[in-house]
Amino acid sequence: MQKEYLYVILVGLPARGKSTIAGKLSESLRRDGIATRIFNNGELRRRLSKENTNYPEFFDPCNKVGAALRERYAIMNLNHAKTFINKNGRKHKVSIIDATNVSLKRRKMICQMLPEDRVLFIECINNDQEILEANISNKVETPEFANLSVEDATAGFKRRIQYYEGIYTPLQSERNFIKVDSFNYSVIKVEVDGGLPFVDRIRDFLVTPFIKNLYLVRHAETYYNQENRIGGDSKLTPYGHLQARRLAEKFKNKRIPMIFTSSLKRTVQTAMPIKEAQQEAKILLLDEFNEINSGICESMTYNEIREKIPEVTAARKQNKYFYEYPQGEGYVSMEERIERGIKKVLYLSKPSENIMIVGHRAVNRMILSYFVYKRKEDIPYIYLPQDSYYQMVISQNKKVLQLKKFI
């Protein structure tokens, strides 16, 4: 069997999702039986350098000492990538170089060191300022910045980005490349010679969500649930707190680095015991996952709506998905914000990690329908009990959905 191999070279400014894409490609290619390894320049530098290299001026192109060190580690990593490809073993191999590689000079050096007809550049582009800020907030809480305050680390990381922006030349003249919108899971441009191995699979991977495990949880019982009221910002009942503790026990042996919730009390209260049962976990509040806004019907019971505003009840029965509450929302008007929330979750999470979303009934129905096809008229009737959670496993080759009880 003829040996097939490829060097995937990531390109892009810091915080543009390169490492997330590297992890996703690595997991996906390995599942296809292709031996794959990631070579991260930054990790190599932090591991081998005896001096502090996380201060922003280290990345100043005018800093000759810093530039020489970064060049040295880049060359070292390329040699490691070549060794992996050339050593005996599987016939199908991919080396992924995870680094900024934003300068034309650096990319020319890469093409001189590697066979150009086996190099694929992937440029990660993301100009969504809100998600960039969120990603920077995640990065400055990593061990690399442990010696700095959050404020100093954030300011320093943004200066680092500015230094890279000064030398950034987008992909254009390279022989083989793909430009990808890393937040919206869309390919912007493809320029690839015929015969380059694995490219069709890689292009497909770039636009397909990859989720190891997504645990989709509805918040525990609230006082409004007891009273059959809709909307509002009710707290959990004592039984609701018990449900949350039971849920935490269920997941205490599963590592969940980030728990995404809405900004409403009931989802945060449900998530807190789960966070406390984890060794290291963060709760990230996303307004996109707030429950459907029921407008003039907020905090009313269904009986009160039937009695006081019967036209609302009658209109919703006609088409629940497309109906919008007066001065509020409907399922149809939630589509855009729910999709944005899902994209935030995928962008901020690593492909190799478990993900949890603690949401609401209507919200979770919309999240489920995003990943698993449902007719729109059926979405408002998806079963979402408060004593169970959905587990989803999603890759290019399979989708698995299970409803599991925890109490």
Nearest Cα neighbor of 329 from 295, 279, 360 is 295
The secondary structure of residue 34, as a DSSP letter, is: -
Residue for token pair 């020319």: 108
Contact 229, 301 (CB under 8 A): yes
Out of 225, 290, 354, 364, pick the active-site residue: 225
Is 339 noted as a catalytic residue in this protein? no
Out of 92, 106, 266, 365, pick the active-site residue: 266
Tokens of 142: 């990593």
Is 184 noted as a catalytic residue in this protein? no
Is 90 noted as a catalytic residue in this protein? no
Residue for token pair 């069709």: 200
Tokens of 158: 């943004």
C-alpha separations of 337 from 56, 121, 162, 288, 330 in Å: 35, 32, 30, 5, 12
CA 195 to chain centre: 31
**Calpha distance 312→299 (Å, rounded):** 15
Is 106 noted as a catalytic residue in this protein? no
Residue for token pair 């806004």: 293
Out of 123, 174, 221, 291, pick the active-site residue: 291
Nearest Cα neighbor of 127 from 207, 16, 20 is 16
Out of 70, 316, 360, 365, pick the active-site residue: 360
Contact 211, 396 (CB under 8 A): no
Q: Which long-range contacts (CB under 8 A, 24 or more apart) does 307-315 make?
A: none
Is 80 noted as a catalytic residue in this protein? no
Out of 92, 160, 218, 340, pick the active-site residue: 218
**Calpha distance 42→34 (Å, rounded):** 25
Out of 219, 229, 340, 361, pick the active-site residue: 219
Is 397 noted as a catalytic residue in this protein? no
Q: What is the 3-state secondary structure (H, E, C) of 88-128?
A: CCCCEEEEEEECCCCCHHHHHHHHHHCCHHHEEEEEEECCC
Contact 385, 243 (CB under 8 A): no
Tokens of 44: 């190599």
Burial (CB count <10 Å: 0-12, 13-18, 19+), residue 330 = buried
Tokens of 321: 């998905």
Annotated catalytic residues are 218-219, 225, 266, 291, 360
